[in-house]
Amino acid sequence: MSNDTLELTQHLIACRSVTPDDAGCQQLLTQRLEKMGFHIEKMRFGEVDNLWARRGNASPVICFAGHTDVVPTGPLEQWTSDPFTPVIRNRCLYGRGAADMKASLAAFITAIEAFVTQHPHHNGSIALLITSDEEGPAIHGTVKVVETLKARDEKLDYCIVGEPTCVNQLGDTIKNGRRGSLSGYLTVHGVQGHIAYPHLARNPIHLVAPAIAELAGIAWDNGNEYFPPTTWHISNINGGTGATNIIPGTVSLIFNFRFSTASTVESLQSQVHAILDSHQLDYDLQWELSGKPFLTPKAELANAMSAAIAQVTGIEPELSTSGGTSDGRFIADICPQVIEFGPRNATIHKLDEHVEVADIERLSRIYQKTIEQLLT
């Protein structure tokens, strides 16, 4: 078995690419892609390095998307080994980004190399969209590249995002969609006063409490075949001056919807406003949409990936839309079929992040066989 994918993963882990710093990762990828005849386009927005690479001009276009940035390490003394010195222990490769998602990036490259070697005049086109702004604010990364591609009417047919999706073993889970994320920043106004003279004040915490109870008890939708029901939760609540004898003048809340395709941004917003208005609250509410939900029904891409997984691992994968948001939410704007598939996610963002060594090369073979089914 070739160790090429493992070696490239190790080189990428050694790059200290804490978001939004790419730290040379994209240059490592570019060197390999140029040898295969890819047209390389570097797109820098703000402090973020992005890479758009494409081989071929015909359709269909299959794109591999991912990120080179990693989350901070946390306390270095709590790692068993230096997080940016790749180490193999107990048949696992340890290092920050091993699972999220440098093994996937390496597997992209070696899968494409193997495919191009066997099919130098393949049908369609192969592309890569790589950013260093996925783990951070995600405002100068994939979303900006997608806007650029959209402005010049460049579309994709299939996109594989290399996020770590598997739960118990490589091949058990494909993400074929993600829930949307909608946050609300709510301030409810009352009248500040002495707590001994409540008739001269209006306590906004008391005023908003019944509305909170109503919002927490609503069934926003029932979900659907692919998504669980939409959820609403408060993440922050702040009110008061710190003194025990003052009724506060305002209370502030931050809440978040994780919503399915069974609801819309507009429907959720209108229901919240209706409830707040029904309680006759004096309030300000600002909304922030982090991403709309996207869904890829079982079609050519999911079928090709499922078949490839079965060939390499013998496992029939499950389609899932669980988890948080990903850059797939941006890519879905120019691509009708977006799925995510990568290694196990058990240790992502944790101390001693790692990936099983055997899975790294198998991941490359899965990606390669998926390309073969779509472009040959």
As to burial, measured by CB atoms within 10 angstroms (0-12 exposed, 13-18 middle, 19+ buried), residue 219 is exposed
Helices marked H in the chain: 4-13, 25-35, 103-118, 142-151, 204-217, 265-278, 300-313, 328-331, 357-375
The Cα 217–Cα 4 span in angstroms is 53
What single DSSP character describes residue 14? T
Active site residue 22: no
Residue 302 phi/psi, 5-degree rounding, is: -60, -35
Catalytic residue among 21, 22, 49, 69: 69
The Cα 67–Cα 163 span in angstroms is 9
The Cα 62–Cα 40 span in angstroms is 16
**SS3 of 36, please?**
coil
DSSP state letters, 262-304: TS-HHHHHHHHHHHHHHTT-EEEEEEEEEE--EE--SSHHHHH
Contact call for residues 104 and 164 (beta carbons, < 8 A): yes
The Cα 294–Cα 214 span in angstroms is 28
Beta bridge partners of residue 368, listed in sequence order: none
Active site residue 69: yes
The Cα 203–Cα 250 span in angstroms is 8
Catalytic residue among 22, 133, 134, 340: 134
Which two three-digit tokens encode residue 134?
A: 């996925």
Bridging pattern class, strands 231-239 and 250-259: antiparallel
Residue 286 phi/psi, 5-degree rounding, is: -110, 140
Catalytic residues: 69, 134
